[in-house]
Amino acid sequence: MTRTTSSARREFRWPQPLAGNKPRIWYGGDYNPDQWPEDVWDDDIRLMKQAHVNFVSLGIFSWANIEPEEGVWNFAWLDRIIDKLGKAGIAVDLASATASPPPWLTSAHPEVLWQDYRGDTCWPGARQHWRPTSPIFRDYALKLCRAMAEHYKDNPYVVAWHVGNEYGCHNRFDYSDDAMRAFQEWCRERYGTIDAVNDAWGTDFWSQRMTDFSQIIPPRFIGDGNFMNPGKLLDFKRFSSDALKAFYEAERDALAEITPDMPLTTNFMVSASNSVMNYDDWGSAVDFVSNDHYFTPGEAHLDEMAYAASLTDGIARKNPWWLMENSTSAVNWRPINYRKEPGQTVRDAMVHVAMGADAVGFFQWRQSRAGAEKFHSSMVPLAGEDSQVYRDVCALGRDLDRLADAGLLGSRVERAKVAVVFDYESQWATEHTATPTQQVRHWTEPLDWFRALLDVGVTADVVPVRGDWDKYDVVVLPSVYLLSEADSERLRTYVNGGGRAIVTYATGISDERDHIWLGGFPGSIRDVVGVRVEEFAPLGDDFPGTQSSVELSNGTAAHDWVDVITSVADGARVLATYEDDPWTGLDGMPAIVANEFGKGRTAYVGCRLGRDGLAASLPDVLDALGVADAADADAKVLRVVREGEAGKRFAFLFNRTRGKVTVPLDGELVISSKTAVVGDGDAAEIEPNGFVVARSLPTD
C-alpha cells in the first residue's frame, strides 16, 4: 500500500546522552570512516574530542561495505569504529544504511532502478538510484534494516536511528510501471471511485475521462510544449511524497519493531527553495525533526537561513529539532561554490540554534580525497587541522557547550507575534506551466514577507499551513494559491474572532483539487478581505512594449502580477492605488485594501511588491491592522528569543548588515563572535557576520 495511513503525529522523543554524560547540544556530523584507512580513525577521534564533538552520523552510504554480497554481513569494521567512538564519549546516530544500493543488487535486479518521465532508466553511478515502489527493493532494504537493528539493538553507544537519507533528493519522481501501479492504488485510496478521480482532475477537459483505475498513468512524456492535466500533476506530487514516506515508514517500522526505545529521524531538506517532499506532512512521521540546510550565497544568506530554520521549527511544532547537515564552507554542487566568509561557520550554526535546533551537524567530518564530494567543505578540511575551518569548528564546539552550561537546553523559540504561512501544496500547484505568469510561484512570496518584516523590526515565525497560524496576533497568507473550504473557513473564523490577516494576490485561487473558486477572486474568502478581483494583469518585458511595472500611490512599484480589483466592500479602506497612464485601465485602481470583518481586520495586497516594496508598505499595513507596535527589534539585527523554564530567556542577536551595529544587551552575555561589549557593559557592537547571545533571568 503506497498511501500513508498513519497520519497521527508520533510522540516527540529526543536522543539521550551516553551513560554518564550530561545532556549537551549535540554536535558533530556525517562520518564516513569506511572511506579511509583505519589508521586515520584514531586521529579522527583525537580531533573530534578536541572540537567537543559528541555525535556522528554513521553508515549512511555504507551498504556495500556492510553487506558486500547478498546475505553476507560484515559488521566487524563498523563495530570497531562504534566502539572507539563510544569509548571516547561520542554517540552514534546510526544510519539504516539503505540510501544507496550496492552494485551486486542493481546488477541482479535492474528492475529496482527508477525511470524518468520519458522512460529512461536512472543507472547506478551516483546514489539513490532506486524506486520507492519496487517490492523487490523494499525487501532488500528491510532485510538490511532488520540486520542493522538486530546487530546493534544492545549497543550502548547508538542513540538514534538515521533512517535513509534525504529521501527524494535524487529519486523524487519515478514513472516506472511499479510507480504506475502504486499511483493507481493511491488514487483508489484517496478517491474511492474512478469517477471521483475524473471529477478531481476535471477529465472532461480534453477528452480524458477514464473508466477504470488501470487507465491512470503517471504524468509521463506528453510532447514538448504540451500541458499536463494540472489535477493529475498535483496528485502525482502528493503521491510521490507519500510513496517515499511509505517507504521510509516501512524502514522505520522494521527498525522500531526490534529497537522500540530508540528515537528515530530522517533528514529533511527544508529551505526557501525546496519543496521536494511535503515536509510538514513528514514531520508527523518522525520522533524528532531533523534538517539539512545549505546556505544561499550572496545577500540573502542570513535571512534565507533564518527563514528556513523558522519553517523547520514550525514543522517541528516548536519541539527541539536537529540540524543534521550544514556546511563549514563551500558546497560542491552549485555551478560556482562560494566559500563562507570568516565568522559565518559559527554564525550560521548559531542561527539554527536560535531557531530551535538543539543539535548541530555538518556534512561531513573529514573531507573526502576521492569521489564526487571531494571539493565539499568539511569539519576537517583537506588542508588538515592547521586550518581556519577546523579552528572555527573547535570554537563552535566550545560555544555550544557554553550555551548548554548556561541552561539553553529545554528552552523553546518564543512564539512571534506574526506568522508567515508556507504551503508545500500551493508551491506544487503554482509550478504548473499554464498559469497567468510563469514568473510567479508561491514560495518567493513568504520569503519576501519574512525579509520585509525583518526590515521593519519584526521577526516572524514561518508556519506551515497545517500549523497553528491562527494562534498568532497577525497572520500573512502570501500567495497561498490553494485554499480548501476548510482552510477558508479557518481564516474566516480567525478574523471573525479578532485575528489580523494580511492576504496577498494569488491566494485562495483554487480549492485543494485546483478547481478555481468562482465569482471573482479570492473566491472563498472575498467576504473576509473585502475585495473582488475580476481578472489578473500580469506584467513583464518578454515582448517589446509590454508593461513590466506599475507605480503605487505609496511610492512603491508592482511587478509580475497585478490583481484587477473592481470593487471593495462597504467600509473597506483603500491604503494605496495604482498611478498609471489612463489607457492601461490601472490608474486609480485599489492596490492595497484594509477591511474589517467581525472582530478582526484584514489587509489585502493585490500585487507583487517584492521585499523592498513590502517593507515600505508595511508601516501603513500594520497600522491599519491595529498592530503598529508589532516591531520590537532594530531592523539591522535578526533577533530571536528562546524561552526556558521559570522565565529564563536567551536573546540571540545577529548583525544583518555589512557594517558594525551597536545594540543594547538583553542581559548577561553568554557567547559572542565578532562582537565587542561597549558602553558600561550594557551594549554590544557587532561586526558583520557577528552575533551575541545574552541571557536574562526573571530576577534581572
Residue ranges that bind ligand GLA, judged by CB under 6 A: 165-166, 292, 294, 325, 331, 363, 373, 376
95 vs 233, beta carbon nearer ligand GLA: 95
Tell the smallest beta-carbon distance from residue 363 to ligand GLA (Å).
4
185 vs 292, beta carbon nearer ligand GLA: 292
Tell the smallest beta-carbon distance from residue 336 to ligand GLA (Å).
15
DSSP line for 41-56: HHHHHHHHHHTT--EE
Compute the distance between CA of residue 624 and CA of residue 604 in angstroms, rounded to an integer.
11
150 is catalytic: no
- Confirm whether residue 333 is marked as ligand binding: yes
Helix (H) or strand (E) holding 685: strand 683-696
Tell the smallest beta-carbon distance from residue 294 to ligand GLA (Å).
6
- Confirm whether residue 291 is marked as ligand binding: no
Backbone phi and psi for residue 63, each to the nearest 5 degrees, phi listed first:
-50, -50
Helix (H) or strand (E) holding 76: helix 76-87
Compute the distance between CA of residue 192 and CA of residue 182 in angstroms, rounded to an integer.
15
Residues 289/312, Cβ–Cβ less than 8 Å = yes
199 vs 373, beta carbon nearer ligand GLA: 373
221 vs 333, beta carbon nearer ligand GLA: 333
Count Cβ atoms within 10 A of the Cβ of residue 226 and give its class: 0-12 exposed, 13-18 middle, 19 or more buried: exposed
- Confirm whether residue 165 is marked as ligand binding: yes
Torsion of CA 233, 427, 503, 611, to 10 degrees: -150
DSSP line for 549-611: EEEETTS-EEEEEEEEEEEE-TT-EEEEEEE--GGGS-TT-EEEEEEEETTEEEEEE-EE-HH
Residues 71/108, Cβ–Cβ less than 8 Å = no
Strands (E), 115-186: 158-162
- C-alpha cell read off for 653: 542577536
Compute the distance between CA of residue 512 and CA of residue 510 in angstroms, rounded to an integer.
7
Compute the distance between CA of residue 382 and CA of residue 367 in angstroms, rounded to an integer.
6
Tell the smallest beta-carbon distance from residue 277 to ligand GLA (Å).
14
Compute the distance between CA of residue 11 and CA of residue 40 in angstroms, rounded to an integer.
39
Compute the distance between CA of residue 467 and CA of residue 460 in angstroms, rounded to an integer.
14
Question: Given 166, 185, 249, 304, which residue is catalytic?
Answer: 166
- C-alpha cell read off for 85: 567512538
11 is catalytic: no
**Residue for cell digits 508595511?**
618
Q: Within 13 Å, how many C-alpha atoms sit on residue 39's CB side?
A: 0
Give the closest residue to 34 by CA, choosing from 88, 123, 89, 100.
Answer: 100
Amino acid at 599: K
127 vs 190, beta carbon nearer ligand GLA: 127
Amino acid at 19: A
Question: Given 67, 249, 251, 325, which residue is catalytic?
Answer: 325
376 vs 526, beta carbon nearer ligand GLA: 376
208 vs 662, beta carbon nearer ligand GLA: 208
- C-alpha cell read off for 477: 497568507
Tell the smallest beta-carbon distance from residue 60 to ligand GLA (Å).
6
SS3 148: helix
Tell the smallest beta-carbon distance from residue 79 to ligand GLA (Å).
23
Tell the smallest beta-carbon distance from residue 278 to ligand GLA (Å).
19
162 vs 695, beta carbon nearer ligand GLA: 162
Tell the smallest beta-carbon distance from residue 327 to ligand GLA (Å).
6
Tell the smallest beta-carbon distance from residue 372 to ligand GLA (Å).
8
Count Cβ atoms within 10 A of the Cβ of residue 234 and give its class: 0-12 exposed, 13-18 middle, 19 or more buried: buried
Amino acid at 131: R
6 vs 333, beta carbon nearer ligand GLA: 333
**Binding-site residue set:** 127, 165, 333
- Annotated binding-site members for substrate: 127, 165, 333
Known catalytic residues? 166, 325
